[in-house]
Chain A
Amino acid sequence: MTRYLVRRVLQAVVVILIVTVIVFVLLHALPGGPARGVLGQQATPEQIAAFNAAQGLDQPIWVQYWHYLGRLFSGDLGTSYTLNAQVSDLLAARLPKTLVLTLASTLLALVIAIPLGIRQAARRNGAFDYAATALAIIVYSTPVFFLGLLLIMAFAQGIPLFPAQAPQGDSLGDILGEPRGLVLPVVTGALATIAAFSRYMRSATLDNLAEDYVRTARAKGTGERAVLLRHVTRNSLVPVITMLGYFVPVMFGGSLVVESMFNYPGIGFLFWNAAQTSDFPVLLGVVLVIAIATVVGSLLADVAQALVDPRVRSVAL
């Protein structure tokens, strides 16, 4: 296990390093280079030259990358020039809020999607399966913002059950204190995910139902219900763990749209505002943090899978 863990962690570190290279390249792809990124669009050429000299931007590119890495390690992601704050401070305040939102959406989606997918697979090609499949593809094909708009029009304007605006508190406590305001953002985020997860679960269950061991279980007189629950469901849930790892970036993408729609004060909303104002330090800071979160997420998924699946576990040992 430790050998596998060490190898997998090293892999993750390499991936994060490559991510920093990508972000570094983006930083240099900015019109006027990082100087403009830091000083803003109104900076004069003289200011930029002075900044470049001061920051060592006239040095070879790999030296600059080295310095950039050094700054990252000390937690320095630069300063937002519109919000007048350290990017790292902004992220530290916003990230927990985004995590709360995505976790709630993901949990809701799993709770609905897993039984749905199993049921569809158990009665494959029945009326229920066809209806659920068609619906899932349609929901999956619907832009999250369109779903959100429809929900707002129905449940915030049509029947005013929930507010159309997410809670605006500064602290996590303030936000959790207004659960009604969280309903529409969480549901919006969950809908598309339910569609994707149920399709995945259906397919994983069908794959397992076709396995020989299912026939063995029937041959020994195990009832259909027990075959489905004791054998098939358990085994089908294993690949779902990996899928969750792969899904982390998709969930962040979704939170970007959901947060912008509902003015939810997470990093997605921060990112969107920064995009409108070309606040590059914030944009690149968010990209870096999300990429790291994704890498850590799939690392955790792989480790969890290794713990759950004895086959992987014994190879990893």
Chain B
Amino acid sequence: MTNHRADEPAGTPDEDTTPTPPPVLRYRSFSVTFSTEHGDVQAVRDLNLDLYPGEVLALVGESGSGKTVTSLAALGLLPASARVTGSVELNGRNVMELRGEQLRRLRGDEVSMVFQEPMTALNPLMRVGRQIAEVLTNHTRLAKDAAAARAVELLGQVDIPEPARRAGQFPHELSGGQRQRVMIAMALACDPDVIVADEPTTALDVTVQAGVLELLRDLRREHGVAILMVTHNMGVVADIADRVAVMYRGDLVETGPARTVLLDPAHEYTRSLLGAVPVLPRLEVTAPSSRGAEPTADADTRVDGDSGAGGDTRIGTDADVGADAGVGTGAAAPALELAQVVVEFGAKGRRFTAVDEVSLRIDAGEFVGLVGESGSGKSTIGRCALGLVRPSAGTVRLFGADPASFRGRTARAARRRLGVILQDPAASLDPRMSVGDSIAEPMVVHRTHRRRQRAARVAQLLESVHLPATTASRYPHELSGGQRQRVSLARALALDPELLIADEPTSALDVSVQASVLAVLAELQERYSFGCLFISHDLAVVDSLTDRIAVMHGGRIVEHGPTRRVLTKPQAEYTHRLLTAAPVPDPVEQHDRRQAWLAAHRTSAA
């Protein structure tokens, strides 16, 4: 039925939303089964899906949905252990039936791929120019130097500055966004009909992500290439996709135009998935701060200069926010106080400043968000608060004691009032310790409970995070990521802490799991009213939980104030940029954000 498309594809870009030409890529009754140690696992079940020329189709789902397996199949890249039935037709030929040389000719030429993690996806020992040129020499008769010249051109096309110099560099010398642009240049080199992009922006910061998505949008417009975009991020879908296909545990549950699926989902799973996505409030300022040329520096001095009266008046603009009272009184001893903290890393000559004169204060019962992209210094602040990093200058006070001194009696007493949850659910629990022992560890360290009391307390804690008491005898590998983070939460709460420090506790989790963990956290905070320093890169996550947020950039706090105010009326230029870059799942609002981002982007580039 698709034989008439077997000739050279025209790849005409179709700006219209109703594509008429036959699909370039079509899945028919496509199923994949893996045999594992635990028996057969069906990764994809009877999938039927079409990708039309020039369109962006988002394949959405959480981990284990089968979306990545589906995307890899388009290039015939499934692992040898996969058993496939059905077909994947690319321009009318069934990719599943191609072998060896036929497959090789297809890959990179008719269909190419952009992977999730650009650092590992590039050969670390080969110059990036050569890696791009390799695609050309694989598929054309181009001579080596011609291919090299073309590689430099391609680097220019994906907006990498100084392409000639960059071509001679190795992957580790580029930034994350640049590496992903190199991957895209590679995918583009032979003008394919289809680019398969597997979570292409997941490993990137939001501001970088916005740029890469913009690039993909441009390429689609200029080259008319069809993009199959695998993602878990509904905001990304709203930003770039024409159509959406939603997968759940190997089944395709819903397909349709992006607008329809996002605004009026038909399937229950899609609805719950969208319901679990934390949403940013609507941005009220559409242009960067108009208060002078350097709002960033402005914010700096105001926040860093003092933690006293000057800061209060500014923060106190939204009078109804509870945080203000906490900051304003200043009478009771704060749970955590950082004053003029500077952290430098590295040896002499190659020193760099991770944290630059940061002051921050959290009072009892206050929920404070610390937000920033990677390298902003937010995690270093967390480590300072935990006493794991000693500041080069400035002071840190945890319940009045210096947390970096482990020996002191006061520091020890202060630590007893502290709960901790860290990022990685795979490493947050000792794999050789039972869940019960892990939760009981704070009680053992501080000798607060006898053995029998500990067991009772562990059961009680597990119950409070909605896990059965029998979980205590299990080991971390038997739990899912979300369950592990609940166990971490139970451990953090073991000694009824007055302050909880949470460093990206949900960033590695699927949205629905994240939503449930955050719900438990909010519920417990309500009940026990502990203070919390919540560190996150995700503005939307912070929004639903915190009273107050501080935004970090380049080691400094650039903006600090009541959550609602910062997220809706940002004053610092960087906060505005961050907010406009963060995609939201509402396609209409995302369109506005995209325009605001473009405007801000142009002014900052100019």
CB-based contact B112/A219 at 8 Å: yes
**Among A215, A216, A221, contact of B109 (Cβ-Cβ < 8 Å):** A221
CB-based contact B135/A234 at 8 Å: no
> What is the number of residues of chain A that contact chain B, defined by CB distance less than 8 Å?
23
Contact A235/B108 with A211-B120, A314-B172, A314-B173 known, Cβ cut-off 8 Å: no
CB-based contact B115/A220 at 8 Å: no
The reply to whether the CB of B125 lies closer than 8 angstroms to some CB of chain A is yes
The reply to whether the CB of A46 lies closer than 8 angstroms to some CB of chain B is no
The reply to whether the CB of B453 lies closer than 8 angstroms to some CB of chain A is no
Bound Cα distance from A94 to B186, whole angstroms: 57
CB-based contact A220/B186 at 8 Å: yes
Contact A220/B107 with A211-B120, A212-B120, A311-B170 known, Cβ cut-off 8 Å: yes
Count class of interface residues, chain B: 20 to 34
Per-position 1/0 for A231-244, Cβ under 8 A of B: 10011001000000
CB-based contact B135/A213 at 8 Å: no
The reply to whether the CB of B327 lies closer than 8 angstroms to some CB of chain A is no
The reply to whether the CB of A67 lies closer than 8 angstroms to some CB of chain B is no
- In the complex, chain B residues whose CB is within 8 Å of the CB of A235: 123-125
**A-contacting residues, B96-121, CB 8 Å:** 100-101, 104-109, 112-113, 115, 117, 120-121
- In the complex, chain A residues whose CB is within 8 Å of the CB of B112: 219-220
The reply to whether the CB of B223 lies closer than 8 angstroms to some CB of chain A is no
- In the complex, chain B residues whose CB is within 8 Å of the CB of A223: 101, 104, 138
Bound Cα distance from A117 to B107, whole angstroms: 28
- In the complex, chain B residues whose CB is within 8 Å of the CB of A211: 120
CB-based contact B172/A212 at 8 Å: no
**A-contacting residues, B115-152, CB 8 Å:** 115, 117, 120-126, 134-135, 138-139
CB-based contact B108/A219 at 8 Å: yes
The reply to whether the CB of B522 lies closer than 8 angstroms to some CB of chain A is no
**Among A213, A221, A231, A311, contact of B172 (Cβ-Cβ < 8 Å):** A311
- In the complex, chain A residues whose CB is within 8 Å of the CB of B105: 221
Q: Which residue of A lies closest to B170 (CB)?
A: A310
**Among A215, A221, A309, contact of B104 (Cβ-Cβ < 8 Å):** A221
Bound Cα distance from A220 to B185, whole angstroms: 11
Contact A231/B123 with A220-B134, A220-B186, A221-B109 known, Cβ cut-off 8 Å: yes
Contact A234/B117 with A220-B134, A221-B135, A222-B138 known, Cβ cut-off 8 Å: no
The reply to whether the CB of B77 lies closer than 8 angstroms to some CB of chain A is yes
**B-contacting residues, A288-317, CB 8 Å:** 309-311, 314
The reply to whether the CB of A217 lies closer than 8 angstroms to some CB of chain B is yes
Bound Cα distance from A238 to B126, whole angstroms: 13
CB-based contact A231/B122 at 8 Å: no
CB-based contact B77/A220 at 8 Å: no
- Which are the 8 A-B pairs with shortest beta-carbon distances? A221-B108, A220-B108, A212-B120, A221-B107, A219-B113, A310-B170, A213-B123, A221-B138
Q: List 25 A-B contacts (CB under 8 A).
A: A212-B115, A212-B120, A212-B121, A213-B121, A213-B124, A216-B183, A216-B186, A217-B123, A217-B134, A218-B77, A219-B75, A219-B77, A219-B107, A219-B113, A220-B112, A220-B135, A221-B135, A222-B134, A222-B138, A223-B101, A223-B138, A224-B100, A235-B125, A310-B170, A314-B170
A→B interface (CB under 8 Å): 3, 211-213, 215-224, 230-231, 234-235, 238, 309-311, 314
Q: A217-B123, A219-B108 are in contact. List 18 more A-B contacts (CB 8 A).
A: A3-B349, A211-B120, A213-B121, A216-B115, A216-B122, A216-B186, A219-B112, A219-B113, A220-B135, A220-B189, A223-B104, A230-B134, A231-B123, A235-B123, A235-B125, A310-B173, A314-B172, A314-B173
